[in-house]
Amino acid sequence: MFNVLLLLELGDQSMEKSKKAQYKFTKEELRELLYDFNKEKGALPSDRPRKVSIWDETLRDGEQTPGVFLTLDEKIEIATFLDEIGTGKIAAGFPAISSGELEIVKGISNLGLNNSTILGIARPKESDIFACLKCDLDEIVLFMPISDLHLKIMNISKQEQIEMIQEAFDCAKGHGLKFNWVSEDGTRAKPEHLLKIQQLAIDNGASSIVLGDTVGILQTDTTIYLIEKMKKELKRWDRTKTQLGIHTHNDFGQAVANTLAAVYHGATLPHVCVNGYGERAGNASFEEVVTNLEGMGVSTGINLRKLTEMSHLVEEIFGLPLSAHKPIVGSNAFSHESGLHIHAIVSHPMAYEPINPAIVGQKRKFYLGKFSGSTSIINAIETKLKATNLNIPREIIKKILQDVKDLQEKSSKEERRRTFKEIKELVRNIQSGINDDEFFAIVQKYAKEYLKDSWVFKDK
């Protein structure tokens, strides 16, 4: 038996319709009662950007989430929604990896979207760039890992890499393509090599240079240090022509924080993925980044009221359930059970909520359970009932509330655990890849003569 959910939209749509609810404090009083350290002089850089363009990676990096595969129709549905809510750039895919991917990127490129620029990604190889050209793209993303480890793996020198990148820039420009440069694993590259390659991109007229924190190792302070280092040491850099982008991963839970730090210090192309999907622990969450930026006075061009709808759309298409505690869009993000919290919220929601849930397309929820305070819940229930023209005596409401609390206390935890295990197993099935038996069965099909006897499966 789970907590009983009492959905009360206090202060949101239902109250606006009923016109009956009044909070204890006015907006003017709240401004006096709640201090905002974010607005203190010196708390955030005074020269931080006032506007950014959101670069979405859901269709590219997001699709690399283990167990996820998107069809053309699914990518079109997501791309169309991203465009409708005001996304600046959409990385649609990697045309060179297969003919099917090329057709998908081409299909999205030819949608005729209103707000979003569609990007195809390419390694600094002529064949990759030509694959992007076949997709009718006007703008591409060139990327390559630049840390010493990756150079060793690729068996090339730093000079050879610079020459390879220059040839790719020449090829893109020669075919009339705008190009963005991403320094993959740039946060683990030697500083002089990172700066040399970023400078090369600037000198070749790149639309943007993007710092890639590919394995999520940055802290917010080191993010700021790197951004300021580039601003100081890169020459002939007009950031209105070559924007600064930031691409972070969430291996240590820092993706959103590092993205915000980069923006506050000059980055105007934050890379995000809806719901924070992506490889390993994922990327910076679209909905968290844009809500934070808008709250700090940085315009993103995104319709915030569509964020929850977008989140649920992508969640369903990806087939990966979100945590109830997911910030902004999770089912618990604006939910309350504590009696003390609910009592304060009845006075004004800002007591325990940083924003009105309606701003991001959410609804406030109250749960009746063990920690629900009687007086506050009764007041909340009465408020809700008045909005629906019901008039139930207070003594009856008290009896209802007590039975609900008693029911939860007596409920079996075993049933809850069984349900939890079933849910976890279903999620594992959704995410499952190819197991060893399936893999070696495929290997045996094509390479049986090369396998050792111990590796060859017996025919069934």
Domain parsing of the chain, residue ranges: 4-35+334-348+362-410, 55-318, 418-455
Least confident interval from 76-80, 294-298, 376-380: 376-380
Instruction: Name the percent of the chain lying above pLDDT 90.
Output: 65
pLDDT score, position 425: 80
pTM of full prediction above 0.75:
yes
* Res. 372: pLDDT tops 50: yes
* CATH architecture of residue range(s) 55-318: Alpha-Beta Barrel (3.20)
What CA–CA distances, in Å, run from 75 to 16, 104, 317?
36, 8, 9
Highest mean pLDDT among 181-195, 374-388, 404-418: 181-195
Least confident interval from 81-95, 228-242, 396-410: 396-410
State the DSSP code for 71.
-
* Res. 388: pLDDT tops 70: no
pLDDT-derived band at 298, boundaries 50, 70, 90: very high
Q: pLDDT tens, 415-430?
A: 777 877 887 787 777 6
Helices (H) and strands (E) in the chain, counts: 17, 11
Q: From the CB of residue 275, how many other CB atoms can be counted at a distance below 10 Å?
A: 28
pLDDT-derived band at 7, boundaries 50, 70, 90: very low
Identify the three-state secondary structure at position 273.
Answer: strand
pLDDT score, position 258: 98
| H/E run at residue 209 | strand 208-213
CB 368 within 8 A of CB 4: yes
pLDDT score, position 447: 79
Q: pLDDT tens, 27-43?
A: 888 889 999 999 999 99
Q: Give me the helix-helix angle, 191-203 and 158-174, nearest 10°.
A: 20
- Nearest C-alpha neighbor of 197 from the set 272, 125, 147, 128: 147
The tokens describing 174, both together, are: 């020669």
Rounded distance between C-alpha atoms, residue 199 and residue 179, angstroms = 14
What CA–CA distances, in Å, run from 200 to 37, 154, 181, 206, 239?
40, 21, 10, 9, 15
Cα 311-315-321 angle, rounded to 5 deg: 120
State the DSSP code for 299.
B
CB 103 within 8 A of CB 91: no
* Res. 9: pLDDT tops 60: no
Section 349-354 average pLDDT: 81
CB 150 within 8 A of CB 194: no
Residue whose tokens read 């993103």:
300
The tokens describing 177, both together, are: 């393509």
pLDDT-derived band at 437, boundaries 50, 70, 90: confident
Ordered DSSP codes for 110-163:
TT--SSPEEEEEE-SSHHHHHHHHTTT-SEEEEEEE-SHHHHHHHT--HHHHHH
pLDDT-derived band at 369, boundaries 50, 70, 90: low
pLDDT score, position 387: 54
Of 38 and 3, the structure prediction assigns the larger pLDDT to 38
Identify the three-state secondary structure at position 253.
Answer: coil
Section 263-292 average pLDDT: 98
Q: pLDDT tens, 143-175?
A: 999 999 999 999 999 999 999 999 999 999 999
